[in-house]
Structures are given as C-alpha cells and as structure tokens.
Amino acid sequence: MFDSSFCMECKNIDCLTRCQWIEFESLEEARSEREKLNNRDNSRVLSECVTCFACDEYCIHDSHPFDLITELQEKYDSLNINPKILENTVMRFKPHPELRLKEIDPLKPVLNKCGLAKINAERIKGKLFEDLQFVSGLSFFCNLLYHHYARDSVIKERAPVVIENIRKQGIKEMLCYHDECYGFYASYCPRNNIKLPEGFKAIHIYEYLYNFLKDHQNEIKKLDLKMAYQRSCSNRFIPEVDEWVDKICELIGVERIDRKYDRENALCCAGILGVFGKTKLQRITQNKNINDMLDHGAEVCVYNCQLCLESLGSKVSRKGIKNYILSDLCRLALGEALDY
C-alpha cells in the first residue's frame, strides 16, 4: 500500500524523474505532478504511465508509488483500454468457484505452475522438475497482471480466494515459477496487509534453480554464452531476487552482458503498449532494447516471463539472438536437449 509519509518532503523524486517513459521539463514540474498524485487528483502521469512498475524500485523510501498510480488509473480510467478487451481479460483469469484438491506432501515444496501452465508445459520438464509435486490452474493464479490494466481492485478481490485455496490444499512452501507469483506473496500481500496462511513461505524459482545446480555441480557443462537478461515488470517489486540470476550464470558459464537496459535501468518488453494503442512507442522501445543487446554482443536473450518472450521473442530471433527462459539454460547446462 502506498505510503505518502515521505513524499511531500522528498527532494529526490527519482520515482518520476528516472521514468524512461515520461519526460518532465523541470524538477518543479515533476514535483507538481507528484503533488497531484498525492492529493488523489488527476495527473498526466496516469495516462503516460506504461505500468512497468519501475517507480517502485526507484523510490528511495520504499513507499510503493505504483500502488498509488494504479489506484488512480482505475479511478480516472486513465489507460483508455477498449472496454471489451478489458472485460474479456478480467473474466479470462477468474478463479474457479470450486477447488479440486490434490494429494500432496505438506512437508515438501509445491511448484505453482499457475494459470499459464499450458504455455509453460514444454519448459517445466527434465530433472529440474521431475521430482516436484505441483498445483496449477486459475485457482492458484495471482492475478497481478491486472496492474497492467489499471484494475488493482480485481487483484484485491481475488487475493483472498487464491490464499484460501492455498490453505485448503495445505501448501506450506510454494515454488513460484514467475516473478509475478513470487511478487504477489513476497511483496504485494504484505504491503497491502493481506494475511497469508500461517507458516506459508514463497520460494522464487531462481533460488530453487541455484540450489539444485549447486547440488549437481558435477553434472554441469559450462555453456560459454553471452546473455542479455530481460527483466520482467513484476521483478521491480522484488529486486532482491536479481542476485540469483548472477549466481546461476556463474554456475552454468554464462556471461550476463553489461548493457544499458538492464538491472535498475531495464526496459520492459513493451508488449502491453499494444493494448493501450501505443504501437509506435512499442516499436521504438523494442528496437532500442534489441539494438542494445546487439551492441553488447548478446548471443542469447533470457526471460523469466513467458509473455515477455512472446512479445519480444520473434523480433529478437530475427536478429540472430536465441531466446530462452532461464530454466532452459539450466537444463542445457545439465546436458538436456530442448525439444522446442
């Protein structure tokens, strides 16, 4: 939940001035727009925001300014999304009314394949995943994607349903395959005072991958690749997991290239801009991102978000750069062949 206690006195204002999408002629203009936001008034920030969540990471006070932005975007209907597209998207990921319980061992972690299980089906295979128990489907889907549609109310409405399903299923440790899933439990719920089941712990897939690789170091064949890493928007809520990327790369012999649009300066995939009707900005942004990969000698582009891969993948591959999810590279390093 947005904390305004620091904002009015904050002279840093990185949350707005570091935005890669919105330009301000002066610090005074940025402060003026921030004051409008703090007063819950309309601001051009609301319509020009592309919902990349970066302001949350830029805020030096950890005040979560994007929480305020998405709340006001919904209030003023700032993103101007086609109502039919919005309605269909909201209904598409609605949790099922009843939960089919699975037999699981509550003393062992459970992989959450989430509502995108079919998209990820070919990637969640091999020795990394074969011994894991799992759940999947809309009953365990975090719904954080609705930040991109200015519908935070949908997330808050569905959060208790998803959390109750976790309690019913008896899950104590959940491996989260996506940044959004982990970000929901590790950041969104705590900052919005949404109570998780007692004793519940979320584990990011990167932590799991690293520990698995450490336990199987004698099976690793170094890949000797130069990698451009494409951070997902939801990774902004949980920047601490980024260090796992570096640790994994070191283990499997991959160089994470030091390029302009990475780490705190990352550009989002810009896929959502098509929904906003900003196709020209989408094309410009994606070209900047891909040219940055080429300029720094990337041989592969690695994602954690399947939707980022779908948005950028074909354009990246046309430039001669191969696309992978990070777990794909781990499987290759373990000597597995990928059949996709």
Encoded tokens for 306: 């399947």
| 218-333 matches 87-209 in CATH topology | yes
Higher pLDDT, 234 or 4: 234
Q: At residue 171, does pLDDT exceed 90?
A: yes
Q: What are the residue ranges spanned by the domains of the chain?
A: 7-76, 87-209, 218-333
Q: Give mean pLDDT, residues 169-194.
A: 95
User: For the chain, how big is the Rg over CA atoms in Å?
Assistant: 20
Q: Give mean pLDDT, residues 60-79.
A: 94
In tens, the pLDDT along 276-319 reads: 999 999 999 999 999 999 999 999 999 998 889 999 999 999 99
Characterize 67-105 residue by residue with b for buried, 16 or more Cβ atoms within 10 angstroms of its Cβ, and e for exposed. bbbbbbbbeeebbebeeeebeebeeebebeeebeeeebe
DSSP 8-state secondary structure symbol assigned to residue 171: -
Q: Give mean pLDDT, residues 121-138.
A: 91
In tens, the pLDDT along 207-260 reads: 999 999 999 999 999 999 999 999 999 999 999 999 999 999 999 999 999 999
Complete DSSP assignment for 217-236: GGG-----EEEEEE--GGGG
Q: Spell out the residues 6+ positions from residue 98 whose beta carbon is closer than 8 angstroms to its own.
A: none
* pLDDT recorded at residue 306: 87
* pLDDT recorded at residue 206: 97
Q: At residue 6, does pLDDT exceed 80?
A: no
Q: Give mean pLDDT, residues 124-147.
A: 93
- State the pTM of this model: 0.93
Q: At residue 2, does pLDDT exceed 90?
A: no
Residue 295 burial (CB count, 10 A): 11
In tens, the pLDDT along 8-35 reads: 667 778 899 999 999 999 999 999 999 9
* pLDDT recorded at residue 22: 94
Characterize 23-32 residue by residue with b for buried, 16 or more Cβ atoms within 10 angstroms of its Cβ, and e for exposed. ebeeeeebbe
Residue carrying structure tokens 């950890």: 62
Class of domain 218-333: alpha beta
Residue 248 CA to residue 252 CA, distance in Å, equals 6
Counting Cβ atoms within 10 Å, is residue 275 exposed (0-12), middle (13-18) or buried (19+)? middle
Answer whether 61's CB lies under 8 Å from 6's CB.
Answer: yes
Q: At residue 340, does pLDDT exceed 80?
A: no
CATH fold of 87-209 reads Rossmann fold (3.40.50)
In tens, the pLDDT along 74-118 reads: 999 999 999 999 999 999 999 887 888 899 999 999 999 987 766
Q: How much is the mean pLDDT over the chain?
A: 93
What does residue 296 show for φ and ψ, rounded to 5 degrees? Answer: -110, 15
What does residue 144 show for φ and ψ, rounded to 5 degrees? Answer: -65, -15
